[in-house]
Amino acid sequence: MAEPRLPIPVDPAAIEVLLPTTNHFAVFLLLLSLVLFSATTVILAAPRIVPRLSALFTQLRHTRVHQAPLGGPFTAVTTGRPSLATFTSTSHHSAIFTNRPGVDMAKYANPPQPPPLFTGTKESIVADAKALCERTRALLDAQVASIKPDEDPSSATFESVLLPQTEDENESSLSSRILGFYQYVSGDSALRDASTEAEKIMDEFAIECSMREDVFRLVDAVYKNSGLADSLAKDKDRVIDATLAKAAGLADVESARLLERERKSYIRNGLGLPEGPQRDRFKEIKKRLSQIQIAFQKNLNEENNGIWFTPEELDGVPQDVLDTLEKGTGENEGKLRLTFKYPDLFPTLKFAKNPETRRRVFVENENKCNQNVPLFKEAILLRDEAARLLGYPDHASFRIEDKMAKTPKTVMDFLNDLKSRLAAGGVKEIQHLLELKKKDHEERKLPFDGNYYLWDHRFYDRMMIEHEYSIDENAIAEYFPLKSTVAGMLRIFEELFGLVFVELTPEDRARISPTGKAEDISWHEDVIIFSVWDDATEGDGFVGYLYLDLHPRPGKYGHAANFSLQPGFLKKDGTRRYPATALVCNFSKPTEKKPSLLKHDEVVTLFHELGHGIHDLAGRTRYARYHGTSTVRDFVEAPSQMLENWCWTPSQLKSLSSHYETGQPIPDDLIEKLIATKHVNDALFNLRQLHFGLFDMAVHTPKTHEELEKLDVSKLYNDLRVEISQIKGPEAQGEPSTWGNGQATFGHLIGGYDAGYYGYLSSQVYSTDMFYTVFKSNPMDSVQGRRYRHTVLEKGGSQDEMLTLEQFLGRKPSTEAFYKELGLA
């Protein structure tokens, strides 16, 4: 998910593994605080293949950032084309907001900017991608031909070189992200294939641009002429602030940051290598890595495997789930087909009484996309080779250099220290769960071998909460129908941040659509669209568009993520371009008997992803590149993680709830019980996150390239899981530790979180500090909410994130609240 690349963790599709139970706090590295206080120079949230084109072509911001962490403790668009959607007014959903008393909705009827169009065809999507590349190539060629810094040093200025490039990037981002978005949401496989091809075209062009030495010479000349070079040479750790930007003769901090990062990106993309075989090989590696990422993600998006079970094998799985499963015919007559999508997978692992059913589901889920196994191995080998070509000892050193931790040693020290601190708690939790399993097996006369398995955990974690805390998650879900819960969340954002969400009816859509057709501004009939505005206290101005695509369907991205469809920025004439952002989720569909009901962990996930959407909508930057969630990976999850706390606050839980039959809010005693479960089996959850983080570091820090070539990645993945979590896998039943290929579903590490998964953990330090310091005493303090909106969310990546944190907190961030929340203070 979240800058979701979701492209993607969250090129996301990769992660259809268990959605994270976001009620648990991920563990962070103990000593990171030492770095946090001194870290200054940070990089953009997503990996930037090409310096100036990243926002354009390689950043969809859907899954790479706005993607949820791996879950569970285990586990140019033109008009007049045929519509992607099959929208009709008769099929439109019931409204989220049925009435808005006291709000004059008429003043929000006419947005000053139309919504984007989704009218691409398989031909136009590819053609538009090529046109974007040609337009940018023409601009760069013209600059190189007309600006000669060797002859006239003064000709290379920010205004003559960087400004035209960023203006081109701004405009191109309005269509490039949508061209790549079709592959995640379109119900038409031909459009998905075209979108994949378009992304490949744009990525390869981005690599070409990133290695243009003639353009680099222009950018380097601007950098040297500006005085920024001399200032940073004297103090390489200096934060670019307003004083430094002014001294360099640049308009603002954002422009100074862009210039410094732009120049450095060229060097990190191979222009420090001599012309010839080494540089050519580096370029080949970059192109192949782009191809691997696209293929890896496509395999995950298109995955549609399943298992046929008899009703007896699915005993215990809620009837609501069973009612949605495909019914078998022929040789599968009387059976039900279980897929590996969220609404099927999670309830089965939680409720299926038959341990062999759970085992089969767990193991086959780990092997659902084995065609990605060789792609993963090839990717880590190519990354290592590229890093060594640039003079780094390994890929992690290359990636972490510009992050807050700075070195792999710092990261590893932190992760290992936390692992040792949590180990005893994990063992204690397993012992308790194992006792529960033993009792259950004895009562049901099932064999018991004394082991607690990976496929046991969700089942007995759920049972423990039900028995010891008197919590029935299905009963709680009855208080959280999807639509009323979404409405409650939006009302919280309205009150806290001074926003107004206006749901677009079919008539509204037709009226504001550039083509006059309602169906042209959506990609599927299920999609809900809001125009978003400032309320009267914030000036009644337009903010942007929010899209909600909430239910699974064939070919759709299978995780939960936020996708930035169009960023905001300042246009040439000084007016603002407003953003469009989409939440793509996979919550269960309503049935004839019940609406879609959310488990509490799904409520948290929805709030988290909406938080990314609000971050995107609230952005007010000069350049598209730094808009909204385009921050460093170590920070990008913090705003959404902080908002998760509202889902554990009694008053907000009550305001979000409305029983699907009675309309009554959730009772106080049930809220109290629910909150008491927040940190149940927390050590095991955090150890699982450490497994992901340590595996990520292990494959990206080999001592030699030859060592990596010999590495059995599947064995490492499974061995590390057992070692860290202490929960048994099929190895304990005599199978080799190559039984599963979880890394083949680990989209985070292919979609931008390589040597960076620990970023999910570091963000928890900041999010907890912000919540405890500012919101814990009064989560609905609208004064502080607006200050947060304007101080943190608006800034995006336009300035150093540590500076943003210090401005909001009034001091340097601290780990104290984080460890206090985890019970490790």
Residue bearing tokens 């005085």: 227
Backbone φ, ψ for residue 719 (5° rounding) = -65, -45
| Cβ pair 8, 753 in contact under 8 A | no
Cβ contacts of residue 362 below 8 Å, gap of 6+? 74, 75, 349, 454, 455
Q: What pLDDT does 163 receive?
A: 97
Helices (H) and strands (E) in the chain, counts: 30, 10
> 63 versus 290: which is more confidently predicted?
290
Q: Which residues, listed in sequence order, are joined to residue 582 by a DSSP beta bridge? A: 547, 563
pTM, two decimals, is 0.83
Q: What pLDDT does 99 receive?
A: 61
Amino acid letter, 742: G
Q: What pLDDT does 100 receive?
A: 67
With cut-offs at 50, 70 and 90, classify the pLDDT of residue 16.
Answer: very low
Report d(CA 672, CA 446) in Å as an integer.
35
Q: Is 290 helix (H, G, I), strand (E, B) or coil?
A: helix
| Cβ pair 84, 28 in contact under 8 A | no
Q: Rounded mean pLDDT of 361-373?
A: 98
Q: How many CA atoms lie within 13 A of 660 on its CB side?
A: 18
Q: What does the longest C-alpha to C-alpha distance in the chain come to? A: 88
Q: What pLDDT does 67 receive?
A: 61
Q: In CATH, what number does 122-290 get?
A: 1.20.1050.40
671-689 pLDDT tens trace: 999 999 999 999 999 999 9
Report d(CA 207, CA 319) in Å as an integer.
51
Percent with pLDDT over 90 in the chain: 76
Please measure the distance between the N-terminal and C-terminal CA atoms of the chain and give it in whole angstroms: 30
117-166 pLDDT tens trace: 999 999 999 999 999 999 999 999 999 999 999 999 999 999 999 999 99
Report d(CA 766, CA 656) in Å as an integer.
25
Residue bearing tokens 């750790």: 237
| Cβ pair 54, 176 in contact under 8 A | no
DSSP class of 679? T
- Which residues are known to be catalytic? 609
Tokens for 126? 């590819």
State how far the alpha carbon of 562 is from the alpha carbons of 223, 531, 546, in Å.
Answer: 34, 17, 10
Domain ranges of the chain: 122-290
Q: Is 330 helix (H, G, I), strand (E, B) or coil?
A: helix
297-313 pLDDT tens trace: 999 989 999 999 999 99
Burial class of residue 802 in the structure, from the number of CB atoms within 10 Å of its CB (0-12 exposed, 13-18 middle, 19+ buried): buried
50-61 pLDDT tens trace: 223 333 333 332
Report d(CA 397, CA 44) in Å as an integer.
16
Backbone φ, ψ for residue 543 (5° rounding) = -115, -45
